[in-house]
């Protein structure tokens, strides 16, 4: 069909114009498809939040808010699922609050996006609000976590610069997905919704992500107040996975810093192709 159109229009100006418009469209589609295939996943947000527990964590009365615009648990959800660290040394995680019924057994950490079964624990059930851990991404691919409980090195991350966050849930009630035995790992929830296969419905959100706005001041005692920057993220976990779960996303709340989302499908190359094609068209027409 396109060849027939070009033949009818001939080699004149209108034919040249059609040819380059088609070229621009075709190249744009190819570039966009390639970028989407290579980019890290992003979740669909926002999702509903039940009750006011999470907003309470973000308040100045019972939570970590000090001043500034603040954080809206419903409206400020970020879609990021995969992350990379932005510091040459590593990333810092600060335990903010955990109010889950089985909090003594739950474990928080990072997982490899290349192999979600490869994980490095950061906080376990013994962590207390204000506890910090330093996560180092070593040149040999190892991930080193230094926390109050000691230093642990996890080897074999396929790409330690591309990771998500997870929560191992123990002692989930029997009769649902859990077994009611607190020494057995019942399931794991991830920042990537697509990995949440043991939820009802499958693929549902189990973690909400909130990015700093460079304006809000937060404080997690015993540390002093500080600016919630755009290299900091709040992760709010829901550890219930059945239809009767509260869905308040306040079962564990952690602040991570010196991280950034794996970039969304960029438009830079797409725009570059378009501008290059249009410039060529204009030169031919002048």
The ranges assigned to domains in the chain are 2-39+267-285, 53-261
User: What is the full per-residue pLDDT of the chain (286 aa) written as tens digits?
Assistant: 333 332 334 444 555 444 444 443 444 444 333 333 333 489 999 999 998 989 999 988 778 999 999 999 999 999 999 999 888 767 877 766 554 444 567 889 999 999 999 999 998 877 888 889 999 888 888 999 998 878 999 998 888 889 999 999 887 666 666 666 777 778 899 999 999 988 777 888 999 999 999 999 999 888 899 999 999 999 999 888 755 455 889 888 999 999 999 975 454 333 333 333 333 333 344 4
Those residues whose C-beta lies under 8 Å from the C-beta of residue 86, and which sit 6 or more positions away, are: 231, 258, 259, 260
- Burial call 7-44: b when 16+ CB within 10 Å, e when fewer: eeeeeeeeebeebbeeebeebbeebbeebeeeebbbbe
């Amino acid at each position: 069909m396109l060849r027939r159109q070009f033949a009818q229009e001939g080699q004149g100006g209108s034919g040249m114009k059609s040819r380059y418009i088609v070229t621009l469209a075709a190249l744009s589609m190819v570039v966009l498809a390639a970028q989407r295939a290579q980019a890290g996943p992003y979740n669909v947000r926002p999702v509903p939040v039940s009750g006011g527990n999470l907003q309470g964590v973000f308040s100045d009365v019972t939570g970590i808010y000090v001043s500034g615009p603040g954080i809206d648990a419903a409206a400020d959800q970020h879609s990021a699922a995969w992350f990379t660290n932005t510091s040459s040394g590593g990333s810092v995680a600060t335990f903010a609050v955990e109010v889950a019924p089985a909090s003594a057994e739950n474990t928080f950490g990072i997982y490899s996006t290349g192999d979600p079964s490869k994980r490095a624990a950061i906080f376990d059930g013994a962590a207390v609000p204000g506890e910090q851990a330093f996560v180092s991404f070593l040149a040999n691919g190892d991930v080193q976590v230094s926390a109050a409980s000691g230093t642990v090195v996890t080897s074999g991350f396929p790409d330690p610069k591309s990771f998500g966050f997870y929560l191992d849930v123990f002692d989930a009630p029997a009769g649902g997905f859990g077994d009611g035995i607190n020494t057995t790992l019942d399931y794991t929830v991830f920042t990537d919704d697509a990995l949440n296969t043991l939820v009802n419905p499958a693929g549902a959100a189990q973690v909400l992500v909130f990015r700093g706005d460079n304006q809000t001041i937060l404080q997690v005692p015993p540390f002093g107040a500080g600016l919630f920057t755009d290299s900091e993220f709040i992760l709010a976990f829901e550890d219930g996975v059945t239809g009767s779960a509260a869905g308040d996303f306040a079962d564990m709340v952690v602040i991570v810093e010196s991280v950034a989302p794996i970039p969304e499908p960029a438009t830079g190359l797409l725009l570059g192709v378009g501008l290059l094609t249009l410039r060529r068209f204009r030169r031919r027409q002048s």
